[in-house]
């Protein structure tokens, strides 16, 4: 049986609720003054013979001494010592510390009144501070003392009302900021607020922006004394010292493009899309349709399928293993490292050029060059030419691409975006943006100066950018991306992709492309061919740009 259960409650608590106007805070008597210190309380001697254990209701003297010792310890800031003078030290310790171990609370003044049986009324006053603001809260409460039936010691009968008369068993007193973080408004580039209600596809991003930049936002959580429920939610405000002030976090998002992105992924089930401005790297739209709130757009990690052939084509052009207008093999099958690779529906292109193979997404045209490449060529080129795998400081949590060194068949699979290559809509939008811009401009979601971002950089301009733009333009106008990109004017380019996933019924659909100074990429998991399922998502976003 614990201490609380052993107690015979010999006095009830009669709580008086009052606000003492003009109450002056002062400390209790020093423990040196008379018998007011804790040393005067009947000591806990559990080894006393049973016939020496006091019994019966606490005397007036015992009540006075116990209450005085408790209030003195509490007012002196020693919540642990005060709690030990109660019949429930664990619960008391946490509740008492709210007013003794809080930087927002000044000196605690407690003034006991006249003993009434086993009850002792007292006045509480303390100052609450917030920056240069300060305000006093004062009220009255009462405690009762009881005697432990086994030890005979006299203790404070612990109840939440000891701290405040309106506290119930499942409630606590909270003093200070109205939450761990101030309210934060996330702003679009034009200064308008981006809300979860209007942009549900941004929810994971908005949540991170508020948490990551709470201090930089200039917001203020405010300050108050409140009664909170078991979940920590305020149910009654006792003192409002400072109201919360919302901070602001700027982003590079364009509200019109964001609206288009939200609409584009809405019917995909699990799709995600990202749009980037190639000339600056500014992220202009992010949308996730994932119902569980996962940020696939920025943090997803998927094999990108044939969209990654843009990077491989760049490598082959750089190493002289391909030329857009030159003859290039596209057989039905090609074996490398013990694996036999094939094209969709086992098609082949006889006497075709590399441009033909790129536009029709011929797998074997790329796999056939694997014997000419070193194991680390693809990963090195992805980093040095496209910035993939570098540490991007975007202002948000992102997965920045992964192209590990593989050998034999696994290395060959990476050439067509399978194997261990991992990308997401952000990185594949950046690939298209790099081609369009002719150089890598690291994507970023918040202004560089606001977050103090250090942007990753490659060694220089993208080699053979003109040829890559020509390849992507042909794909967008006369290749596998033509249907999705139909009707889009301006300078356009695109690439489709479908990535097989073990244990998944359908492939992940991919699509990346650009139109003028906007690039975008989308993935729609477990859906089908890229041009059919991811292409319309990207095209809808690109069409929304001026």
CB of 523 within 8 A of CB of 302?
yes
- Among 259, 200, 227, 293, smallest CA distance to 95 is for 227
The candidate with the shortest Cα–Cα distance to 540, out of 270, 290, 264, 195, is 264
Of 441 and 12, more confident? 441
d(CA 524, CA 497): 11
Are 309 and 417 spatial neighbours (Cβ–Cβ below 8 Å)?
yes
* Residue 489: partners with Cβ closer than 8 Å, 6 or more residues away: none
Alpha carbon distance, N-terminus to C-terminus of the chain: 76
User: Residue range 454-466: average pLDDT?
Assistant: 97
Helix, strand and coil content of the chain, in percent to the nearest 5, comes to 30, 25, 45
Domain ranges of the chain: 3-169, 184-248, 255-543
More confident residue, 291 or 539: 539
The number of C-alpha atoms within 13 Å of 468 and in the hemisphere containing its C-beta is 31
Domain 3-169 coded CATH 3.10.450: yes
pLDDT of 172 over the 50 cut = yes
> Given a cut of 50, is residue 253 above it in pLDDT?
yes
**Lowest pLDDT segment from 34-48, 142-156, 356-370, 511-525:** 34-48
% of the chain at pLDDT higher than 90:
84
Of 106, 160, 161, 164, which is closest to residue 135 (Cα–Cα)? 106
Share of the chain above pLDDT 70, in %: 91
Tell me how far the alpha carbon of residue 378 is from its chain's centroid: 33
Tokens of 146: 């009881």
Distance of alpha carbon 521 from alpha carbon 265, whole angstroms: 12
In terms of DSSP H, where are the helices of 79-188? 79-83, 89-97
Q: What is the pLDDT of residues 416-444, one digit of tens each?
A: 999 999 999 999 999 999 999 999 999 99
Mean pLDDT of the residues in the chain: 91
Closest CA to 115 of 6, 14, 20, 7: 14
Confidence of residue 181 (pLDDT cuts 50, 70, 90): confident
pLDDT value, residue 11: 33
pLDDT at 28: 35
State residue 26's pLDDT score.
Answer: 31
Instruction: Provide the pLDDT for residue 15.
Output: 32
Residue 444, SS3 per DSSP: strand
Q: What is the largest CA-CA distance in the chain?
A: 111
Contact of 346 with 493, CB cutoff 8 Å? no
Task: Report residue 177's pLDDT band, with 50, 70 and 90 as the boundaries.
Answer: confident
d(CA 418, CA 224): 56
pLDDT of residue 293: 83
Give the SS3 label for residue 500.
coil
| pLDDT recorded at residue 2 | 55
- Structure confidence by residue, pLDDT tens digits, 475-506: 999 999 999 999 999 999 999 999 999 999 99
pLDDT computed for residue 14 by the predictor:
33
Backbone angles phi, psi at 422, to 5 degrees: -135, 125
pLDDT in tens, 376-421: 999 999 999 999 999 999 999 999 999 999 999 999 999 999 999 9
Which of 12-21, 93-102, 245-254 shows the lowest per-residue confidence on average (mean pLDDT)?
12-21
Q: Which two tokens stand for residue 9?
A: 């409650």
Is the pLDDT assigned to residue 214 strictly greater than 60? yes
Residue 233: DSSP 8-state: -
* 3-class SS of residue 208: helix
Of the CA atoms within 13 Å of residue 381, those in its CB half-sphere come to 24
- Virtual torsion, Cα 528, 532, 533, 536, nearest 10 deg: 170
- Assess whether pLDDT exceeds 80 at residue 141: yes
Pairing of strands 119-130, 109-112: antiparallel
**pLDDT band of 518, cuts 50, 70, 90:** very high
The architecture (CATH level 2) of 255-543 comes to: 3-Layer(aba) Sandwich (3.40)
Distance CA 469, CA 484 (A): 18
Residue 322 clears pLDDT 70, i.e. is over it = yes
- What are the tens digits of pLDDT across the range 186-196? 999 999 999 99
pLDDT recorded at residue 35: 41
pLDDT band at 51 (very low <50, low <70, confident <90, very high): low
- CA pair distance 309, 343, nearest whole angstrom: 14
pLDDT tens track for 254-294: 999 999 999 999 989 899 999 999 999 999 999 999 877 88
């Amino acid at each position: 049986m614990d201490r609380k259960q052993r107690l015979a409650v010999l006095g009830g608590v009669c709580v008086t609720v009052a606000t003492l106007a003009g109450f002056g805070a002062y400390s209790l008597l020093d423990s040196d003054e008379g018998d007011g210190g804790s040393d005067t309380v009947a000591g806990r001697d559990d080894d006393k013979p049973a016939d020496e254990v006091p019994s019966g209701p606490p005397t007036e003297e015992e009540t006075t001494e116990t209450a005085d010792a408790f209030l003195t310890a509490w007012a002196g800031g020693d919540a642990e010592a005060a709690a030990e003078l109660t019949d429930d030290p664990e619960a008391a310790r946490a509740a008492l510390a709210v007013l003794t171990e809080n930087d927002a609370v000044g000196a605690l003044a407690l003034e006991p009144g006249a003993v009434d049986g086993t009850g002792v009324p007292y006045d509480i006053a303390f100052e609450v501070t917030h920056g240069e603001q300060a305000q006093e809260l004062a009220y009255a409460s009462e405690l009762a003392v009881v005697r432990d039936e086994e030890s005979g010691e006299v203790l404070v009968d612990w109840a939440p009302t000891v701290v405040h008369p309106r506290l119930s068993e499942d409630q606590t007193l909270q003093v200070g900021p109205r939450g761990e973080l101030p309210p934060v408004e996330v702003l679009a580039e034009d200064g308008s607020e981006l809300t979860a209600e209007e942009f549900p596809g941004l929810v994971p991003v908005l949540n991170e922006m508020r948490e990551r930049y709470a201090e930089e936002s200039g917001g203020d959580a405010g300050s108050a004394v409140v009664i909170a429920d078991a979940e920590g939610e305020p149910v009654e405000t006792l003192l409002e010292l400072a109201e919360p002030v919302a901070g602001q976090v700027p982003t590079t998002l364009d509200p019109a493009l964001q609206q288009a992105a939200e609409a584009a992924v809405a019917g995909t089930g699990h799709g995600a899309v990202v749009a980037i401005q190639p000339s600056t790297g500014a992220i202009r739209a992010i949308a996730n349709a994932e119902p569980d709130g996962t940020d696939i757009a920025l943090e997803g990690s998927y094999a990108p399928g044939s969209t990654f052939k843009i990077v491989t084509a760049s490598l082959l052009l750089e190493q002289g293993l391909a030329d857009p207008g030159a003859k290039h093999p596209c057989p039905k099958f090609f074996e490398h490292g013990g694996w036999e690779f094939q094209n969709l529906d086992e098609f082949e292109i006889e006497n075709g050029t590399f441009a033909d193979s790129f536009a029709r997404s011929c797998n074997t045209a790329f796999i056939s060059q694997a014997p000419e490449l070193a194991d680390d060529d693809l990963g090195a080129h992805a980093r040095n030419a496209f910035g993939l795998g570098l540490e991007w400081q975007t202002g948000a949590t992102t997965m920045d691409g992964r192209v590990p060194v593989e050998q034999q068949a696994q290395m060959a699979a990476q050439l067509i975006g399978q194997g261990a290559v991992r990308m997401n809509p952000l990185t594949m939008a950046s690939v298209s943006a790099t081609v369009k811009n002719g150089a890598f401009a690291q994507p970023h979601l918040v202004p560089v100066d606001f977050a103090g971002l250090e942007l990753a950089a490659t060694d220089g301009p993208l080699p053979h950018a003109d040829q890559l733009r020509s390849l992507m333009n042909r794909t967008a106008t006369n290749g596998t991306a033509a249907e999705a990109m139909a009707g889009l004017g301006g300078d356009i380019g695109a690439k489709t992709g479908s990535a097989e996933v073990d244990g998944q019924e359908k492939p992940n659909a991919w699509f990346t492309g650009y139109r003028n100074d906007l690039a975008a990429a989308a993935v729609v998991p477990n859906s089908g061919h890229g041009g059919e399922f991811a292409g319309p998502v990207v095209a809808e976003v690109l069409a929304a740009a001026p």
